[in-house]
Amino acid sequence: MTGSSPAPLAPARTDGVAVDKGLKSGALGLGSSIVLGVSSTAPAYALAATLGFVVIAVGVKAPAIMLLAFVPMWLIAIAYSELNKREPDCGTTFTWAARAFGPRTGWMGGWGIIAADVIVMANLAQIAGSYGYRLVGLDGLAESTLWTTVAGVGWIALMTWICYRGIEPTARLQKVLLAIELVVLVAFAGYALVKVFGGGAPAGSLTPSLSWLWPSGVSWPALTEAALLAIFIYWGWDSALAVNEETADPTRSPGRAAIISTVLLVGIYVVVSVATVAFAGVGTEGIGLGNEANAEDVFAALGATVFGDDLVGRAFEALLIISVLTSAAACTQTTILPTARGTLSMAAYGALPRSFARIHPRYLTPTVSTIWMGIVSIAFYVGLTLVSENVLIDSITATGMLIAFYYGLTGFAAAWGFRRSRSPRDVLMRVVLPLLGGLFMLMVFVLACIEYADPDYGYTVIGGVGGVFVVGVGSLVLGLVLMAVWNLVAPAFFRGETMARGTGDLLLEPAQVTLALPDSTEATVVAPDLSNLPPGREPFDPRAGS
C-alpha cells in the first residue's frame, strides 16, 4: 500500500439504491472486457486438460459437444447481459439473485462464485507451477509435488499482487497473455490440418467430416459426461461482467463482451477440436486421443508430432508449453479479479464484514477482498495437497456443480425479474432464453449429482459416496452454514434492510390519454442515464411510487 491515509470503505447500502463503490470507473473499454472474458476461460489450458477426456467419452463427436455446450452458455450470457443493463453491479449473481428471490438466495449465489473460484485456483496454480519448470527444462521439479506447490503458491501471490495494483495493469497483461495463447492455438490447428489434408499426418489420422458437428449416435451417459466436461471448458467469460463498474458504458459493454466472448470461444474450441481429432485420431494407442495416457494433456502428447523437428517446429512446440502456462497464469489472475469484486459488493450490502469493502486510495481496487482471495486460495491449495492429491483432483471436477448452480440461478433471476416484460423482444431475450439457460443448468446440476455420487466415479470415496459429489455439495452446505452464522452476527442484510427487493427499474410515466382500452398500460423501462426518455415525459420508480 502507498500513502499514509487508510484505504476507504465502499459506501454502505441503506436503501437498495446502487452507489459508487470507489472502483475506477471507465478504466476498461469493450476490447479489454472481451479480453478478460476470453482469457478467464483459459482456452489453451482448458483444451489441453479436457479435450482428451471428451474424446474418450464421445469419440469423433467431440466437436459436436463443443457446439452443444455453447448453447446454454450463450443463453446464460444473454441473461447476464440483460440483468447488467438494468443494474451494472460487480456482485453480478449475488446482487441480481437477491433482487429477484431475496437475500438468502442472493447470498448463496455469491457463495457459489467464491467457492468455485477458490477451488479452481488450486488446479490453475498447480498447472502454472508445473509448466513453469517444464519451460526451463526442469522436468524433475515439474514432477515433484513439493516444488510444484512452491511454484504454484508463487504464481498465486504474483497474480494477487498484480490484481491489487490496479485493473489497468491487469488488463494490459491479459492482452499479452491472450495474444500468445491464441497465436499458438491457431498455429497448432493450422499445422495439424495441413498435415491431415497433405498426407503428412501419422497413422490413425482421420479426414474431418460434417457429421462430427452433430451428436447423433452418442449414448445418453456418454453425452452427459462429455457435456459436463465441456461446461467447465466454457466457464469464466462472466469475469467481463464482474468489472462492469470499471468499464466505460457499464450498462452495455460488459454484456456485449460476455456474448462476444462465448461466440469467440465456440469458434476456437470447434476448430482446435476438429484439427486435433483429425490429426491424432481416436485410437487407444500412441498419440491417439482415446489413449488415456494422453488425456491429462493432449498438447504435450501431440506437440512434437504436429510441429515437427525443424527449428520452426521446435520453436512452436516451446510456444505451446508457454501458451498453456500463460493460459493458466492468466486465468489465475482473472479468477482473483471477479471474486474480489463479488465480495466487495457483498460487503457493501452488509452480506460480509464491512472490511471487505475497503478500496485502495491510489489503485482504486478492493484491498482486503483481493488479499483474502489470494490467502484463502493458497491455504486451500496447500491444504488439499497435504491431505491428498486425489482429493485435489476430485475437487476440480466438483467445480462443474458450482458453475451450474450459480449460472442457472442467474438465468432464473433474469426470467423472474423480467417476468412482466411485454414487448416481443424483451419476452424473448429477458425471459424465454434466460429461462431455457437456467433449466439447462439445473439439468446439468442434477445429472452431475447423480454421476458424481457414484463411488466408482473420480479418485476418492467418502462415506461410500463419490468424493466429487461430497466436495461439490459439501461446498454448498458449507455456504449455508456460513450464511447462518453471518445471519446471527449481522442480520440487517437478511432482513432486507440494506437491499430492496424488486427490479429497481425506472419506468416511463404513462402518457395522459383520453381514449384507451380498459387494460391499456405503458411500462417502458427507462435507462439509468435517461438516454431513452422521450421529450416531455418523466420516469417513475414503481418501488417508491415516484
At 516 the pLDDT is 40
At 15 the pLDDT is 42
Residue with cell string 432464473: 412
At 346 the pLDDT is 95
At 211 the pLDDT is 94
Return the DSSP state at 526: E
Indicate whether 314 pLDDT > 50.
yes
Confidence of residue 514 (pLDDT cuts 50, 70, 90): very low
Q: In this predicted model, what pLDDT tens digit does every residue of 429-487 receive, in sequence order?
A: 999 999 999 999 999 899 889 888 989 887 888 888 988 899 999 999 999 999 999 99
Sign of the CA dihedral with 111 first, then 259, 37, and 268 last:
positive
Report the predicted TM-score, pTM, of the whole model to 2 decimal places: 0.86
> What is the rounded average pLDDT for all residues in the chain?
84
CA-CA distance, 518 to 496, in Å (whole number)? 36
Q: Which residues, in sequence order, are bridge partners of residue 462?
A: 465
At 502 the pLDDT is 63
Residues 6 or more apart from 24 whose CB is under 8 A from it? 166, 167, 168, 246, 364, 365
Q: In this predicted model, what pLDDT tens digit does every residue of 252-263 receive, in sequence order?
A: 999 999 999 999
CA-CA distance, 396 to 119, in Å (whole number)? 6
Q: Which residues, in sequence order, are bridge partners of residue 539?
A: 508
More confident residue, 350 or 134: 350
* Residue % of the chain over a pLDDT of 90: 41
Average pLDDT over residues 10-36: 71
Q: How far apart, in Å, are the Cα atoms of 414 and each of 114, 399, 524?
A: 21, 23, 17
At 65 the pLDDT is 93
Tell me how many degrees the CA angle 80-36-433 measures, rounded to the nearest 5: 20
Residue pair 319/184 in contact (Cβ under 8 Å)? The answer is yes
Q: Which residues, in sequence order, are bridge partners of residue 506?
A: 526
Average pLDDT over residues 206-234: 87
Return the DSSP state at 428: I
More confident residue, 172 or 414: 414
Indicate whether 521 pLDDT > 60.
no
At 93 the pLDDT is 96
Amino acid code (one letter) for 394: D
Alpha helical stretches, state H, 418-512: 424-426, 433-453, 467-489
CA-CA distance, 128 to 78, in Å (whole number)? 32
* Residue % of the chain over a pLDDT of 70: 88
